[in-house]
Structure 1
Amino acid sequence: MPRKRVISQEPPKRRVRTGCDRCRARKVRCDEQKPTCGQCSAKGFDCQTSIKLKWEQDYTSAGRAFGRAGLWSKKAAEKSNAASPCIHVTEDEVSWIRIPLISSYSFVNATVGNIEQLTTLENLAIDAAPVLDVIHTNDRDDTSSTASLSPWLSARQPAFLPRQHFIPSSLSMLPDLPSAMHSSLLSYYLEKICPITVPSSVNESPFANLILPFSISSSPAVLESLLALAACHRSKKDIAFRATSLRLGDNVLRTLRGRLGTEDPLEVAMDPETLVIMMILCQYEIINECDKRWVVHLKGARDLIRVRRNAQLYLAAGQSSVDLVEFAEKYFAFQDVIGRTACGEEPIFGIDFWTSRGEDTDAWLGCSAGLVSILCEITELSRQHRSRPGVSLLPEFQFKAASLERRLCSLRQRVLNEEDDLLQLSAELKRLAAELYLHCALNGATPAMPLVVRLVQQILHLVSVLLEHGVLAGLSWPLFVAAVELDPMEDLEWAERQDLPDEVPNYARPFVLYALSRLAGSNAIANIAKTRSVIERIWLTRSHDEISDTQLEGLEKGQNDWERYVAPLCGGLSLA
């Protein structure tokens, strides 16, 4: 007689999936008590719980269903496999379809004007020269964080320069770079770095119309140094480019050292590539840390230029190389002059380099060669005073200082394009900063003097105007000269509040910090962090001396204001 089935009112017990390892192996129910479950406690076992990962590939290869997919039967799986047998075909029976040409055009963030410009440039490039050999590095292709700034620039589609003023027709097409990272960096160099090396968009940057064509046509090493510079500059805001910057910079150094160690020294010195690479590496170190490593390149360039001139082969090169070498020499000499105005150290490039007293304003210098020549003479005279303070009492010294002051006041810096107001303002800004520097370094002017206050106000006003127009080139040195000559006992009001935008401070110290933040936020071609650090230390030293007797010690030694506060803190500082 069958027994009567008792219907339980309790809910059905479900399998547990988090039991201990031993209960799961014995296939018994685990009460999951911690630290030892009931089963293991009764048997005297060690209770351990672990996670076992199951992979779908293992189940599929064993002919078992994974999880709840399919049926829990090997026979069902075999029947399923038998229902769809593999079809084998020979090579003759296969018909391959031709892969269509897929262009690298992207309509994201592009306009109709971009596409029209691209089409025009492609038509111009039909008869262009073959793609030039370029560098080959093993950079990781990381397009996720290095998207090209140009809507049509990619690793496979060459970019075109927007302007072809100094670039030959055979260089109308940039090289096909080995990775999207390189294309992105080259685009960044063209669109972000080159425009901010000159104070006005009316003038072309020599970094674009001289260095870039040379790197494409003649020097893969220079091209790699430009990519390293772009990565270094971009790493200021995106640390992901730091490793790429260091790797590319190390490759360039290895190439330069290899040439210096294996080739004829004179041949290496006479090659414009060597001087250009040293210039880019110098700029790289300034942007990177602005320590004394950039001075090493400066001194090396001086020796290299001496060898070139002594060999008397300088004029034998082509005209394009002459222009390139002249710019490189001007770059190093200008860095030397502006850097020495702050520290007053011995010159690396002699005063004979700036013999020209021309009044035509140079677009890259942001002033005339005549003004740089005056600055060089002021610095030399200041260095004499620093070594022998008593020399300032001599009539010869006073006559030279007065002569330089007259030259500065009467200097008229001509701008060839009358509509280029920004370049004119930049030239006047540097002239005012040179005048303030002369009075402080040679005539013993102090921050409390009305003349110094007036010049500081004028300099800060021009800095504000240029910042408002987006100018970044050439502002570091004038801003530095005005900032270090602020009176610690009085907060100078350089402009009326109603004449300025709300975000622009009208007091000198807050405005200096505001301007430095603007330059740093816009990634100006300078090391703003170190410049700001030096300015703040000078402010702190001045404030400390005002309430102590330390200031009298400097006066007893015959030091002027610039020698007492500015020069000792500015070794290795680049302000150009």
Structure 2
Amino acid sequence: MPRKRVNPLEPAKKRKRSGCDRCRARKVRCDEQKPTCGQCHAKGFDCSTSIKLKWEQDYTSAGRAFGRTGLWSKNAADKSSASSPCIHVTEDEVSWIQIPLISSYSFINATVGNVEQLTTLENLALEATPALDVIRTNDRDDTSSTASLSPWLSARQPVFLPRQHSIPSALPMLPDLPSPMHSNLLSYYLEKICPLTVPSSVNKSPFANLILPFSMSSSPAVLDALLALAACHRSKKDIAFRSTSLRLGDNVLRTLRGRLSTENPLKVAMDPGTLVIMMILCQYEIINECDKRWVVHLKGARDLIRVRRHAQLNLMAGPSSNELVEFTEKYFAFQDVIGRTACGEEPIFGSDFWTSQGEDTDAWLGCSAGLVSILCEITELSRQHRSQPGVCLLPEFQFQAASLERRLCSLRQRVFDEDDNLLQLSAELKRLAAELYLHCALNGATPAMPLVVGHVQQILRLVSVLLEHGVLAGLSWPLFVAAVELDPMEDFEWAEKQDLPDEVPNYARPFVLYALDSLGRSNAIANIVKTRSVIERVWLNRSYDDFSSTQAEGLDKGQNDWERYIAPLCGGLSLA
């Protein structure tokens, strides 16, 4: 009930609005004594008075009453005529915004530390690589494994026994192995891993028709390497196979290191099994997402191949015609080419592994040898520009860049089976990515240019088609090239929403994250974690530069877009 005045004849006391801040917050009467009112003096509080300005427009726009307007009045007439701050609209005037689908893979986090690293180019170059390293939870104390060629010896991992009920039965055509576990792993290699290495089921994977038969007839170390690869791939979804992968891989690595240290180096180099083991170990590291360790096997294979070729020249034997050796050499050379497109580092394998006249599409490469040869030349020309930015103004450089562009535009990649549409799409996807890479690395193209936007749109469409048909091989590099050249200020629609399944985003950035998540969930043979980390970092760098009023310190004036944003982050990145 309302309080009654002691003396009804006295006029009502009006509420004062000039009291101190403490009394107003406590809602008690302030005697307004200065410098300290009675209430604050009695309680021992600091007494202060401030003025807070309030604007009626701010309250009205927020749908709130300004002061006591419209709340109450002693006069009924005034109360009925008081205006309400609420705004009433009809259903026809309301338009509801559709809530977008948010998935777990769509979240990109950036911290204050990320922004601080972008303030100078010097900090970026020093801190970008370790910031992107993927540290395995069980290998945090493994600091010397790269130098010792052993990523497994210092791992601390509890032993798990694989669950027998979750392992498919072994294929009847496989030979007897020491244990059912080995037979099941070999079945997994043949049924699950080999199909992931080619973009089309029409063509058999060389990992099935070359590597598998050789492992049956060669040393046990080659077969153990295949089993370790299968266990490593399977451990991505079932950690119970992690201990098996470590144990088998350690045995293979011990055997390889023992041969290299005790046997005749020429004999080891001439043995095809040595290259096969190093290739499988390289693939193991890529699947295991050990960022730079796969490069150790790549460099070791280069040295063995050099010894092998030098011995053949001395013996006047001519080049090797062994199909297995040719494939292992092609595997290492292709890994080197695709990896260097991103980082622009010195080549490990030369361009002599590729012929510019090869227009036949290779089922494992997903493109022709001619396209890979053009990529080699683009990368070498880009490396010259990176070391000497002013070289791009020379007529000779411009002529070479224009010549490579003409060769790419006129390149026709033949597919023997005309019905093999997936292989044709894969070859065209890589050709478009090569064109985009050329424009950015040699011609200074930027994400805002219509030429770049058009190429990105075509690449994303082909990636979407191949993903829809279950193709996982060879998508990492084209997807990476398109993703790092997205304009941070405008995320365009690459397709109409009604033309896509509900779960497929039609905007560029969400689709890139969706595609990477699809590759990761399907256990594609690629380093998806590192690839996404680099893409996110490139997006962050571009956004920072767009909103920053100052340019990065120490940035060379002649750097193009690719050299500024992508190359410094891509050391040791596998994209093949």
**What TM-score does the superposition give when structure 1 sets the normalisation length?**
0.70
Structure 1 residue 556, shift from structure 2 partner? 5.0
- State the distance in 2 between where 1:229 and 1:573 align: 20
AA partner of residue 300 (structure 2): G
Structure 1 residue 143, shift from structure 2 partner? 6.2
- State the distance in 1 between where 2:550 and 2:296 align: 35
Aligned to 1:144: 163
Structure 1 residue 357, shift from structure 2 partner? 2.2
Q: Among 139, 155, 172, which residue is 1:159 paired with?
A: 172
Cα deviation per residue 1:534-567 (whole Å; 9 max; x = unaligned)? 1111111110111114546577521000000000
Could you tell me which runs of 5 or more consecutive residues in structure 2 were left unpaired when the two chains were aligned: 1-158
Cα deviation per residue 1:286-344 (whole Å; 9 max; x = unaligned)? 1112321111110111111011111117996999x700000000000000000000000
> Residue 499 in 1 paired to residue 499 in 2?
yes
Aligned to 2:345: 345
Aligned to 1:254: 254
Structure 1 residue 147, shift from structure 2 partner? 4.2
Q: State the SS of the aligned residue for 1:365.
A: coil
Q: CA RMSD of the aligned region, Å?
A: 2.0
- In structure 2, do the counterparts of structure 1 residues 548 and 463 end up closer, same or farther at CA, with 3 Å as the change threshold? same
- State the distance in 1 between where 2:252 and 2:452 align: 45
Aligned to 2:358: 358
CA contact (8 A) 2:504 2:511 kept: yes
AA partner of residue 180 (structure 1): P
Aligned to 1:509: 509
Cα deviation per residue 1:397-444 (whole Å; 9 max; x = unaligned)? 000000000000000000000110000000000000000000000000
CA contact (8 A) 1:142 1:181 kept: no
- State the distance in 2 between where 1:251 and 1:562 align: 42
- In structure 2, do the counterparts of structure 1 residues 251 and 146 end up closer, same or farther at CA, with 3 Å as the change threshold? farther
Q: Is 469-478 or 489-498 further displaced after alignment?
A: 489-498
- In structure 2, do the counterparts of structure 1 residues 510 and 409 end up closer, same or farther at CA, with 3 Å as the change threshold? same
| Structure 1 stretches of 4+ moved >6 Å | 313-319
CA contact (8 A) 2:309 2:319 kept: no
- State the distance in 2 between where 1:555 and 1:427 align: 36
AA partner of residue 531 (structure 1): T
Aligned to 1:18: none
- In structure 2, do the counterparts of structure 1 residues 572 and 318 end up closer, same or farther at CA, with 3 Å as the change threshold? closer
- In structure 2, do the counterparts of structure 1 residues 141 and 479 end up closer, same or farther at CA, with 3 Å as the change threshold? closer
Aligned to 1:84: none
Aligned to 1:447: 447
- State the distance in 2 between where 1:243 and 1:334 align: 31
CA contact (8 A) 1:146 1:181 kept: no
Aligned to 1:405: 405
Cα deviation per residue 1:51-99 (whole Å; 9 max; x = unaligned)? xxxxxxxxxxxxxxxxxxxxxxxxxxxxxxxxxxxxxxxxxxxxxxxxx
Q: State the SS of the aligned residue for 1:312.
A: helix
- State the distance in 1 between where 2:419 and 2:219 align: 36
> Residue 207 in 1 paired to residue 226 in 2?
no
CA contact (8 A) 1:315 1:322 kept: no
Cα deviation per residue 1:186-245 (whole Å; 9 max; x = unaligned)? 111000000110000000000000000000012211110000001111111111111111
Matches within 5 A, 1:12-411: 144-145=163-164, 147-150=166-169, 153=170, 159-160=172-173, 174-312=174-312, 322-411=322-411
Return the structure number with greater relative CO, CA threshold 8 A, min gap 6.
Answer: 2
CA contact (8 A) 2:162 2:240 kept: no
AA partner of residue 168 (structure 2): L
- State the distance in 1 between where 2:469 and 2:550 align: 42
- State the distance in 1 between where 2:278 and 2:549 align: 46
Aligned to 1:458: 458
Aligned to 1:546: 546
Aligned to 1:475: 475
Identity %: 85
Q: State the SS of the aligned residue for 1:417.
A: coil
Q: Is 351-360 or 377-386 further displaced after alignment?
A: 351-360
CA contact (8 A) 2:312 2:318 kept: no
Q: State the SS of the aligned residue for 1:472.
A: coil
AA partner of residue 565 (structure 1): Y
Q: Is 478-487 or 543-552 further displaced after alignment?
A: 543-552
- State the distance in 2 between where 1:551 and 1:409 align: 36
CA contact (8 A) 1:545 1:551 kept: yes
**What TM-score does the superposition give when structure 2 sets the normalisation length?**
0.70
CA contact (8 A) 2:440 2:560 kept: yes
- In structure 2, do the counterparts of structure 1 residues 420 and 555 end up closer, same or farther at CA, with 3 Å as the change threshold? same
AA partner of residue 370 (structure 2): G
- In structure 2, do the counterparts of structure 1 residues 557 and 239 end up closer, same or farther at CA, with 3 Å as the change threshold? same
CA contact (8 A) 1:343 1:568 kept: yes
Cα deviation per residue 1:468-488 (whole Å; 9 max; x = unaligned)? 000000000000000000000
Aligned to 1:570: 570
CA contact (8 A) 2:374 2:404 kept: yes
- State the distance in 2 between where 1:308 and 1:248 align: 28
Structure 1 residue 526, shift from structure 2 partner? 0.6
- State the distance in 2 between where 1:438 and 1:146 align: 51
- State the distance in 2 between where 1:148 and 1:316 align: 47
Could you tell me which runs of 5 or more consecutive residues in structure 1 were left unpaired when the two chains were aligned: 1-139, 161-173
- In structure 2, do the counterparts of structure 1 residues 400 and 530 end up closer, same or farther at CA, with 3 Å as the change threshold? same
CA contact (8 A) 1:290 1:573 kept: no
Q: Is 236-245 or 447-456 further displaced after alignment?
A: 236-245
CA contact (8 A) 1:355 1:373 kept: yes
- In structure 2, do the counterparts of structure 1 residues 560 and 553 end up closer, same or farther at CA, with 3 Å as the change threshold? farther
CA contact (8 A) 2:199 2:474 kept: yes
Aligned to 1:486: 486
CA contact (8 A) 1:441 1:561 kept: yes
How many residues align structurally? 418
AA partner of residue 226 (structure 2): L
- State the distance in 1 between where 2:162 and 2:484 align: 44
- State the distance in 1 between where 2:549 and 2:346 align: 30
CA contact (8 A) 1:141 1:179 kept: no
- State the distance in 1 between where 2:241 and 2:160 align: 13
Aligned to 1:137: none
CA contact (8 A) 2:291 2:530 kept: no
Aligned to 1:532: 532
Structure 1 residue 183, shift from structure 2 partner? 1.4
- In structure 2, do the counterparts of structure 1 residues 141 and 397 end up closer, same or farther at CA, with 3 Å as the change threshold? closer
- State the distance in 2 between where 1:304 and 1:364 align: 23
CA contact (8 A) 1:143 1:180 kept: no
Aligned to 1:121: none
- State the distance in 1 between where 2:545 and 2:319 align: 57
- In structure 2, do the counterparts of structure 1 residues 480 and 185 end up closer, same or farther at CA, with 3 Å as the change threshold? same
- State the distance in 2 between where 1:327 and 1:303 align: 17
Q: State the SS of the aligned residue for 1:486.
A: coil
CA contact (8 A) 1:290 1:572 kept: no
CA contact (8 A) 2:408 2:431 kept: yes
